[in-house]
């Protein structure tokens, strides 16, 4: 199954969920978020925002974010937990959370328990905006922004989509394949997941608002069977973003991931830890790129007037006439900007051939600042209005 399918399409028959199943999946997401808020508050208030050194080993640092791996002798577990049935016969799912797992439930598979903590400039709205991608096309763009190594994947079912009134709450079921590094490919095939993906905002016990992104494996009995070309992984991960200053966000990512076998630990953990760290950091870049993509699309749709420039025009930023480094026009305002002043972004685009193409987009600093200062909510509402969230694809 899935061997002859087009890339970024489902390897399964359409996943049709009943109203009862929608309710059950919402309840599952809510319960997982609630129990992980408890774990997050323990980190914040009991451990004073630090991880106990006796339990967690420092692994790597990326910018202002540090990633830790739980020490092997402190797991009190040996596996990820078996799927358990929902209140219906149509599908099963894993219900293991990151903070409430009992050791006897971890008996079948080896796991890696990883946390990324730190801070980053931005807002919690930008973090959630960068994390969310309710359609398959947006999953592909996000993979480019986050550098998460997605090889294939698609949205299988949308349960709750973003709206003008609630631009950040989303809940969907997805299938995704993570590409292994060249070293890992010699040992094991790529691994895939079927998982519940949720974004939005919740509250701490003191009423403080925090953003979240939940990823949790689910199993639909008979509908999403294991594919022979992949190792079926399981994941339970959640990211929290908390506004600690007007433009500073505290980052807390926690993920539990299955390993195909214990001897793969030293090979898999570096890749998984890097992916978690990057995904928690790069959501802010993803938000900026989404704002930029939206602004460019609006400009093109409205056919806004753009002044013509020539090589004899001075740069609109430094006001100098360049004999070298002459530059080009800004993609948004059309003003001439020299090569020394312009800012270039590599924009991914899914073309009609279903392949990702990249093109250079040149901007003046003024337009990029204007785009960056737009709120994430404005951008999502504009995208909703343009119909970008209307279907799975």
**φ/ψ (deg, to 5) at 132:** -80, 145
pLDDT at residue 98 above 70? no
- Residue 287 φ then ψ, to 5°: -65, -45
Q: Is the pLDDT of residue 101 over 60?
A: no
Which three-class secondary structure string do you get for 261-303? CHHHHHHHHHHHHHHHHHHHHHHHHHHHHHHHHHHHHHHHHHC
- The pLDDT value given to residue 86: 39
- The confidence score (pLDDT) of residue 77 equals 43
pLDDT of 322 > 50? The answer is: yes
Domain boundaries defined on the chain = 19-284, 292-385
CATH topology of domain 19-284: Alpha-D-Glucose-1,6-Bisphosphate; Chain A, domain 4 (3.30.530)
**Among the listed ranges 42-46, 112-116, 330-334, which one has the minimum average pLDDT value?**
330-334
Per-residue confidence (pLDDT) for residue 199, from 0 to 100: 98
Distance CA 291, CA 371 (A): 6
Give residue 3's pLDDT: 54
Rounded distance between C-alpha atoms, residue 32 and residue 133, angstroms: 20
Lowest mean pLDDT among 145-154, 221-230, 274-283, 322-331: 322-331
Which tokens hold the place of 344?
């270039």
- Is the model's pLDDT at 24 over the cut of 90? yes
pLDDT band for position 259 (cuts 50, 70, 90) = confident
Answer yes or no: is pLDDT of 85 > 70.
no
Give the model's pLDDT for residue 5: 82
**pLDDT beyond 60 at 296:** yes
* pLDDT tens for each residue of 107-164: 345 888 999 999 999 999 999 999 999 899 999 999 999 988 889 999 999 999 999 9
Question: Is residue 232 pLDDT above 70, yes or no?
Answer: yes
Cβ-contact 234, 80 below 8 angstroms: yes
- Residue 306 has a pLDDT of 60
More confident residue, 157 or 5: 157
> Taking the model in full, what pTM does it have?
0.88
Percent of residues, the chain, with pLDDT higher than 70 = 85
- Highest-scoring range by mean pLDDT, 67-81, 83-97, 254-268: 254-268
What pLDDT is recorded for position 181? 73
With 0-12 / 13-18 / 19 or more C-beta atoms within 10 angstroms meaning exposed / middle / buried, residue 201 is middle
CA distances from 345 to 91, 285, 330, 348, 359 (A): 43, 11, 12, 10, 8
In this chain, the answer to whether the domains covering 19-284 and 292-385 adopt an identical fold is no
CATH class of domain segment(s) 292-385: alpha beta
Q: For the chain, give the mean pLDDT.
A: 85
Task: Using alpha carbons, list the distances in angstroms from residue 61 to 8, 119, 144, 276, 281.
Answer: 32, 12, 21, 12, 11
- pLDDT for 334 equals 84
- The pLDDT tens digits for 363-372 are 999 999 999 9
């Amino acid at each position: 199954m899935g061997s002859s399918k087009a890339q970024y399409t489902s390897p399964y028959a359409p996943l049709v969920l009943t109203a009862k199943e929608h309710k059950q999946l919402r309840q599952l997401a809510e319960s997982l978020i609630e129990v992980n808020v408890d774990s997050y508050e323990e980190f914040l208030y009991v451990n004073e925002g630090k991880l106990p050194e006796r339990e967690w080993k420092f692994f790597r640092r990326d910018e202002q974010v540090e990633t830790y791996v739980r020490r092997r002798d402190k797991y009190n577990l040996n596996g990820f937990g078996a799927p358990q049935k929902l209140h219906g016969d149509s599908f099963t799912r894993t219900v293991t959370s990151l903070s409430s797992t009992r050791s006897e439930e971890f008996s079948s598979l080896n796991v890696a328990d990883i946390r990324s903590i730190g801070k980053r400039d931005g807002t919690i709205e930008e973090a959630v905006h960068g994390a969310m991608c309710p359609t398959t096309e947006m999953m592909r763009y996000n993979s480019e922004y986050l550098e998460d190594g997605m090889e294939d994947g698609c949205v299988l079912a949308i349960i709750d989509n973003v709206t003008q009134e609630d631009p950040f709450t989303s809940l969907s079921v997805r299938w995704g394949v993570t590409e292994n590094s060249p070293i890992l490919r010699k040992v094991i095939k790529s691994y895939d997941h079927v998982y519940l993906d949720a974004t939005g905002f919740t509250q701490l016990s003191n009423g403080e608002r925090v953003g979240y992104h939940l990823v949790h494996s689910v199993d639909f009995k008979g509908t999403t069977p294991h594919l022979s070309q992949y190792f079926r992984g399981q994941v339970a991960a959640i990211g929290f973003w908390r506004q600690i200053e007007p433009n500073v966000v505290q980052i807390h990512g926690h993920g539990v991931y299955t390993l195909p076998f214990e001897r793969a630990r030293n090979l898999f953990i570096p890749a998984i830890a890097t992916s978690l760290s990057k995904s928690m950091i790069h959501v802010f870049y993803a938000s900026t790129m989404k704002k930029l993509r939206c602004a460019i699309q609006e400009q093109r749709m409205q056919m806004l007037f753009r002044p013509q420039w020539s090589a004899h025009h001075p740069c609109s930023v430094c006001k100098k006439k360049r004999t070298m480094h002459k530059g080009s026009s800004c993609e948004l305002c059309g003003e001439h900007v020299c090569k020394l002043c312009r800012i270039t972004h590599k924009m991914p685009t899914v073309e009609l051939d279903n392949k990702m193409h990249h093109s250079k987009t040149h901007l003046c600093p003024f337009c990029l600042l204007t785009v960056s200062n737009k709120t994430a909510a404005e951008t999502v509402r504009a995208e909703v209005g343009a119909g970008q969230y209307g279907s799975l694809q």
